[in-house]
Structure 1
Amino acid sequence: MNYFLTYAVYVLILSVLMGLSSWKLFKKMGYSPALAFVPFYNYFIILKETKHPKWWAILSYLPIVGPIMMSVFHLYLMKKFGKTLVQHQILTVILPFIYMASVNYSKDAEIEDEEAKNMFLTDKEKSLKKKDSFMGSITFAVVFATIIHVFVTQPFGIPTGSMERTLLVGDFLFVNKWSYGYRMPMRPLAIPFLQGTVYDFQKDGNPKNDGKSYVDGVKLPYERILQFNKPQRNDIVVFNYPQDSVHTAIDRKDPYVKRCVAVAGETFEMRGGRLFVNGKPEIVLGDQERQHRYIVKTSSQLDVPGLYDIYGFLPVQEIQDGSGFIYAFQGLTDKTAAEIKKLPQVTEMKEDIMQKGQAAIAYKDENKTKIDTTQSIFPVNKAWNQDWYGPVRIPKKGDVVAISKETLPMYRWIISEYEHNSVSENNGQILINNQPATNYTIKQDYYMMVGDNRDASLDARFFGFVPEENIVGKPMFTWMSLEGAFKDNSSSYQANKGWFFGMKFRWERMFKATNTGDANKTSYWWIAAMILILFFGWEYFVKLFRKNQTEE
């Protein structure tokens, strides 16, 4: 409810600004000046008077799409009053309500007779008019794509090997934003198609200084509508990285894709590199394969490019010692491990599992005084690592958890960042919102997201529980798969050694479902064809519709 109240306030403010900057112009067009203040209807009138489709008015206040459409409608209005020069258009887009107000309150603002003007157009002016028509077509193609991107489905690329064998580096996915209910946009004023950053303007290595793709000051609270389903165990889920400190907007944080291995209320545990949920071994689906890390000693150098061609993986590290070579392989299945072990050069091979009780803590400095929480196991006060983790219960909405010095590292981020309370300590006592606290009631569901290639995955074992508000949706299908599209040390040997310089289409993966759990994926070529027809045929259908209307 807070979302729609805040949204209504923004609409009211914009409507007042629109009215103050155009009421005289509406009067000159033969309408009541008060209509310039009415949301949606004010733009409906502009479209009617400038002979454009009137239904476009419903797009005027939509998040992200709205600012683009409003600029277009403002240009139409200014053109109606003869402001057609380039400088007029630039001022209308950059300073809309200020420039329109200057026209509105000027004494010489009059409606221009478009038909009379067209009779005396020069060849150059006719050419410019055609150019304007072409730019309008481009604008509405962008608007159409933005609507799909914001409100229906969003493309994501896979740059790392954390989900290897299920999702490969270079896979590009379409994600259904309605899988778990639609999460309303939280930064309505933003550049279309960009996630969080435009470009690194600072060049100082600090991502917080990068140019943002959105206006952070114009914000809306979290709201999810039509939520009929929640993430289930074994779903592949796209979510925003919880501990992204660069972007304050939840929906602008970096997108991650992992498998949901445990849902709210379940218990997660890793025992010697094996995953257990509620004390039982995980269920391996048809599109999964158990993978492990191995250390391999050889008497001579392996033909790594040849192995890459056969198995599609690489050794993370190759070290030459006095008696031969040492390789660290990630993501080996039991079958491939057995085949590697039979190679004549292999003298010793064993699974690489961290010791139980050995905490995986990383530091930012050589003196080990500052913990790097992004690379350390979660929580940092536990003697856990990625192979021996938990057991830990995934927080569920309504859970009452005990708060103490021992448990605070587990729940601090939930209380302060995800559920927006202040947390402090005073003389050994924990304060929540400046009140002494020994327990806390969880306000939303959380999930455990872990990569299928677990020895090469920065996942919930490091960044902690994923809150429901960070969930984006579920991948529908892989629309393109391009080997060599990203450089990733965990998945492609060519990224390290440079033996493969080009990129190669994986045709067998394209337009295949990514989230079924089946080894044989459903093909979605028909959806791809439909999207292409809609995108490229939109203008044709609009022209055909207008022609039919004219003939009638």
Structure 2
Amino acid sequence: MKWNLPFKRKQAENKPKKSKTREWADAILFAVVASSIIRGLLFSAYAIPSGSMEGTLLTGDYLFVSKFNYGPRMAITPIAIPFLEPNISGFKTYWDGLQLPYYRLPGLSTLKKGDVVVFNLPSDSVNRPVDMKTSYIKRCQAEPGDVLTIVNTQVYINGKVAKNAPKAQTSYVVTTDGQQINPQVMHDLHIEIYQQLTDKDFIMIIPVDSYKAFKCYSVVKNIKPYIDPAGQFDAGIFPHSALFKWNNDNFGPLTLPKKGWKIRLNDSTVALYSRAIQNYEGNKLSHVNGEYYINGNKADSYTFKQNYYWMMGDNRHNSEDSRVWGYVPEENIVGKAMITWMSLDSTENLFNKVRWSRILRKIE
């Protein structure tokens, strides 16, 4: 017996079929939307353009960066052409006429010391929205509220020695016998000549794994760490004030701002924290007749509105990092670097260009 159900949907017998062009357009639109959601909320791919993280990450490494580990940051500049850099040959690929407030979805974990992190450079000289600033990658050395000190290149957090990256690099003064070192040796050991001091003396960046082997060559007479002495003021180092005679290798102590932390305003704290107060938290700070004013109102203290982190490269003497431009605001954090999915060595020939040992390698 055949039943005629009143609620059965009738098939649209005369519904026109989609054209091939329409089918392709729908497929492309779906792919763009889906990939934009994945890229915006889950993970993105990045390439390493410089040596600031060697030997953890090498120039030519391609990374997957997880955005859901710390919680996806919602788009601050929502109108942009997907998958393109913010600026291509002077052409902006985004429209900054619409800016949304910073908001981050809940994540799997919080950002911790030792994490390798991608973030938007806070000191980017180009006037762009936060999420369109240049992307950097460094290792987090200090969290909000931590007291950071560097003594003879060693980082201390809250008075305790911070664990160094397994393959962190630094500089050495190398004295030779005056003969030229075989360039192939330098290439094979991944040693970089940073500066030549005399005919026999060089500043070199030497990987941990290469130190012992390099020291055994007869041309090498002496190797000693290169360290900027304590008390030697470097104007290029944060906070760029003669009140603090800090340099790359001897720095601090410095307390990282934490949301809700209140400071007294004086010459020292203003030198250390004025950039955060003004540039990152949107206030106008002025000093008139010995008094401080915030947004035109007399103030003797300030309470921070967000958290800040301290980022440094593992290649300590070849890295422009927080020692130069200071704190990284929480809103600038993009995600956690997880794995290298590809690695290409531009110095090798076609057959040796791929670093196979680094494919799908976990980042630590």
User: Please, what TM-score do these two structures have when normalized by structure 2?
Assistant: 0.88
Task: State the 1:342 CA deviation.
Answer: 2.4
Match of 1:411 in 2: 273
Q: Distance in 1 between matches of 2:341 and 2:272?
A: 38
- Give CA deviations for 1:279-307 in whole Å, capped at 9, x if unaligned: 1212246xx23432012122200012333
Q: Do structure 1's residue 427 and structure 2's residue 289 form an aligned pair? A: yes
Q: Distance in 1 between matches of 2:234 and 2:212?
A: 29
Task: State the 1:399 CA deviation.
Answer: 1.2
1:358 pairs with one of 232, 238, 243: 232
Report SS of the residue matched to 1:483. coil
Match of 1:464 in 2: 326
Q: Do structure 1's residue 344 and structure 2's residue 213 form an aligned pair? A: no
- Give CA deviations for 1:45-70 in whole Å, capped at 9, x if unaligned: xxxxxx9xxxxxxxxxxxxxxxxxxx
Task: State the 1:353 CA deviation.
Answer: 0.8
- Give CA deviations for 1:108-141 in whole Å, capped at 9, x if unaligned: xxxxx985xx9xxxxxxx9xx5345434433433
Q: Distance in 2 between matches of 1:478 and 1:158?
A: 10
Contact (CA 8 Å) 1:239, 1:257: kept in 2 or not? yes
Q: Do structure 1's residue 512 and structure 2's residue 361 form an aligned pair? A: yes
- Give CA deviations for 1:508-538 in whole Å, capped at 9, x if unaligned: 11112214xxxxxxxxxxxxxxxxxxxxxxx
AA aligned opposite 1:508: S
Task: Work out the percentage of aligned pairs sharing the same amino acid.
Answer: 38
Q: Distance in 2 between matches of 1:473 and 1:340?
A: 37
Contact (CA 8 Å) 1:260, 1:447: kept in 2 or not? yes
User: Please, what TM-score do these two structures have when normalized by structure 1?
Assistant: 0.59
Aligned length: 348
Q: Do structure 1's residue 146 and structure 2's residue 36 form an aligned pair? A: yes
Match of 1:481 in 2: 343
Contact (CA 8 Å) 2:40, 2:72: kept in 1 or not? no
Contact (CA 8 Å) 1:304, 1:314: kept in 2 or not? no
Q: Distance in 1 between matches of 2:64 and 2:259?
A: 30
2:192 pairs with one of 314, 323, 328: 314
Question: What residue ranges of structure 2 are gaps of 5+ in the alignment?
Answer: 1-11
Match of 1:213 in 2: 93
Superposition pairs for residues 129-528 of structure 1, below 5 Å? 129-197=19-87, 199-200=88-89, 210-227=90-107, 229-284=109-164, 288-298=166-176, 299-309=178-188, 311-318=189-196, 321=198, 324-333=199-208, 336-361=210-235, 376-381=236-241, 382-484=244-346, 494=347, 500=348, 502=350, 504-515=353-364
The structure number with the bigger radius of gyration is 1
Q: CA RMSD in A?
A: 2.3
Q: Distance in 2 between matches of 1:332 and 1:295?
A: 14
- Give CA deviations for 1:419-476 in whole Å, capped at 9, x if unaligned: 1111122223221111122211111111111111111111111111111111111112
Q: Distance in 1 between matches of 2:164 and 2:238?
A: 25
- Give CA deviations for 1:201-259 in whole Å, capped at 9, x if unaligned: xxxxxxxxx32211011111101121453211111111111111314311111111111
Q: Distance in 1 between matches of 2:206 and 2:35?
A: 37
Contact (CA 8 Å) 2:167, 2:207: kept in 1 or not? no
Q: Distance in 2 between matches of 1:480 and 1:253?
A: 25
CA pair 476-290 structure 1, distance change in 2 beyond 3 A? closer
Contact (CA 8 Å) 2:68, 2:108: kept in 1 or not? no
Q: Distance in 2 between matches of 1:328 and 1:385?
A: 17
Task: State the 1:338 CA deviation.
Answer: 3.5
Q: Distance in 2 between matches of 1:440 and 1:178?
A: 32
Q: Distance in 1 between matches of 2:213 and 2:307?
A: 43
Task: State the 1:194 CA deviation.
Answer: 2.1
Task: State the 1:379 CA deviation.
Answer: 0.3
- Give CA deviations for 1:153-205 in whole Å, capped at 9, x if unaligned: 111111111111211111111111111122110111100012421x22xxxxx
- Give CA deviations for 1:302-360 in whole Å, capped at 9, x if unaligned: 01233322x223222457x5xx4433211432x63343232111233321111222222
Match of 1:46 in 2: none
Q: Distance in 2 between matches of 1:316 and 1:139?
A: 49
- Give CA deviations for 1:400-426 in whole Å, capped at 9, x if unaligned: 112112221211111112111111222
Report SS of the residue matched to 1:156. strand
CA pair 398-460 structure 1, distance change in 2 beyond 3 A? same
- Give CA deviations for 1:260-295 in whole Å, capped at 9, x if unaligned: 11111111111111111111212246xx23432012
Q: Identify the structure with the greater helix proportion.
A: 1
Q: Identify the structure with the greater strand proportion.
A: 2
Match of 1:105 in 2: none
- Give CA deviations for 1:471-490 in whole Å, capped at 9, x if unaligned: 11111211111112xxxxxx
Contact (CA 8 Å) 2:190, 2:206: kept in 1 or not? no
Q: Distance in 1 between matches of 2:179 and 2:29?
A: 60
Q: Distance in 2 between matches of 1:132 and 1:326?
A: 69
Contact (CA 8 Å) 2:56, 2:168: kept in 1 or not? no
Report SS of the residue matched to 1:224. coil
- Give CA deviations for 1:343-383 in whole Å, capped at 9, x if unaligned: 1112333211112222222xxxxxxxxxxxxxx21101121
Q: Distance in 1 between matches of 2:114 and 2:161?
A: 13
Report SS of the residue matched to 2:279. helix
